Structure 1
Amino acid sequence: MLRKVCKGKLHRVRVTQADLNYMGSITLDPALMRAARIRPYEMVQITSLENGVIWHTYAIEGQENSGVVCLNGPPARHFQPGDHAIVLSLAWIDESEWEDFTASVVFVGDHNEITSVVTSRPFDGWQDGP
C-alpha cells in the first residue's frame, strides 16, 4: 500500500511577489527549497492563509537567500504580496519506507529567513488496526 505523506513544509511563508503574466509555477528561494526538501520542478501544494485557496503547481528556484516566494501565472489572482502561505512537498511512500521516513517543517521570520527546521519521524509506537 502507498501512503501520501508530507515530506516537507514551509510554514507561514510571506508571499513576496505575484506575477500574473508569467507562465506558471511558484518561485522559491533555493535555501527554503533545500530546507523543505523541495526539488526544482517538483509539484507542491500551496495554501493561502488569507483566503483558504489551495493551489498545486511546480517549484522553480529564485535567487539564493532572497526570501523570494512568488506565485506565477493564475495563482497570482489568489496569492498577493504580504499574504501568508503554507507550501507542502508531498510524496508517496510504501510500507517499507515508513520506518525510515522523516518530514521537515521549516519555520521562517518576517522576511522568509529560516528561523528553525524541525525534522520528525512517524510515531514509533503507531500500528495499523486495533
Structure 2
Amino acid sequence: MNVSALKSKIHRAVVTKVDLNYVGSISIDENLMELSGLFEFEKVDVLNITNGNRIQTYVIKAERNSGTIGINGAAAHLINKNDLVIIVSYCQINKDEVTLLRPKIIHVDRLNSPIFLDKQPA
C-alpha cells in the first residue's frame, strides 16, 4: 500500500507579489525550488499563516535568487502580498519505506533567502 507523505517544504515564506489576472500557479524563486526539491508544474499546497486560507496550485519558476514568491490567478483573492505562507508538496511512497523518507525542508528569512535546511518536518 502507498501513502501520501511530505516531500518538500518552504517554511514561512513572504508573498512578494500577487497577480489576479495571471492564469494561475505560484511563482517560486528557482534557487528555493532546487533547495526544496520542487519541480516546475508540480502540485503544491500553499498554507497561509496570516489568514488561515489554504490552496492547491502548481509551481512555476521565478528568477533565481530573486526571493520571489508570487501568487497568481484566482488564489490572489485568498493570499495577499506580504502574507506569510508555507509551501508543501507530497509524494506517494510505499508504507514500508515511510520511515526512510527525508523531506527537504527550507526555512527562509523575511527576504525569502534560505536560512537553513532541516530534516525535521515540523
Determine if the TM-score, normalized by the shorter chain, exceeds 0.5. Answer: yes
Map of 2:54 onto structure 1: 54
Query: SS where residue 119 of structure 2 aligns?
Result: strand
Deviation at 1:51, TM superposition (A): 1.2
Shift of 1:11: 0.4
Work out whether residues 5 and 98 of structure 2, in 8 Å CA contact, stay in contact via their aligned partners in 1: no
Deviation beyond 2 Å, 4+ runs, structure 1: 95-100
Structure 1 residue ranges without an equivalent (≥5): 122-130
Identity, in percent, stands at: 31
- Give the secondary structure class of the aligned counterpart of 1:57: strand
Paired position in structure 1 for 2:2:
2
- Aligned to 1:67, the other structure's residue is in SS state coil
Aligned residues: 121
Mean CA deviation greater in 92-101 or 19-28: 92-101
Residue equivalent to 2:89: 89
Aligned 8 A contact 1:15 1:80 in 2:
yes
**Gapped runs of 5+ residues in structure 2?**
none
Alpha-carbon RMSD: 1.4
Q: When the two structures are superposed, what TM-score results if normalisation uses the length of structure 1?
A: 0.88
Shift of 1:50: 1.3
Larger radius of gyration: 1
The secondary structure found in structure 1 opposite 2:111 is coil
| In the alignment, structure 1 residue 117 sits paired with structure 2 residue 117 | yes
* Distance in 1 of aligned mates of 2:19 and 2:86: 18
Shift of 1:111: 0.2
Q: Is the 8 Å Cα contact of residues 36 and 89 (structure 1) preserved in structure 2?
A: no
